[in-house]
Amino acid sequence: MTPKTTVEYIRYRIALADQEAFEAAYARAAASLAASPECIDYELSHCEEERERYVLRIRWTSVDAHLGGFRKGEHFPAFFSAIRPYVSAIEEMQHYTVTGVAGTGKGAGER
């Protein structure tokens, strides 16, 4: 049985005037995620319908790896320093377990 990964979703509401700086902050913070052995991958998405909304998706090897490894490790201080101004804009921050329901749509071959 393959181990299940943990997906952390963080929803933000960022004012239009702050979005360029927000994205730049996450571009800097991404270096810490990329260097972290606990992080599998990450993606920051910007909502098309409600332009103030962003969702950050981070796949961790486990919740324990995220909370006990990354958050207590050498890469967290630089990560948090970059995104600290936007912590108050978080609307949700939760961990989810990936289920067996996944697949690829027909459009995947067109990319």
Query: For position 83, which CATH number holds?
Result: 3.30.70.100
- What b/e string do you get for 67-87 counting C-beta neighbours within 10 Å, with b at 16 or more? eebbeebebeeebeebbeebe
Segments forming the whole domain that contains residue 14: 6-99
Number of domains forming the structure of the chain? 1
Residues in the chain: 111
For residues 18-36, give the mean pLDDT. 98
Lowest mean pLDDT among 38-42, 53-57, 100-104, 107-111: 107-111
From the CB of residue 26, how many other CB atoms can be counted at a distance below 10 Å? Answer: 19
19-35 vs 76-83: helix axis angle to the nearest 10? Answer: 170
Residue 56 lies in a domain: yes
H helices of the chain, in order, are 19-35, 63-64, 76-83
pLDDT at 40 > cutoff 60: yes
Residue 1 lies in a domain: no
Residue 41 lies in a domain: yes
Residue 109 lies in a domain: no
Residue 111 lies in a domain: no
- Compute the distance between CA of residue 11 and CA of residue 111 in angstroms, rounded to an integer: 27
Residue 37 lies in a domain: yes
Q: Extract the runs of DSSP E, i.e. beta strands, from 47-89.
A: 53-60
Q: Can you give the pTM of this predicted structure?
A: 0.91
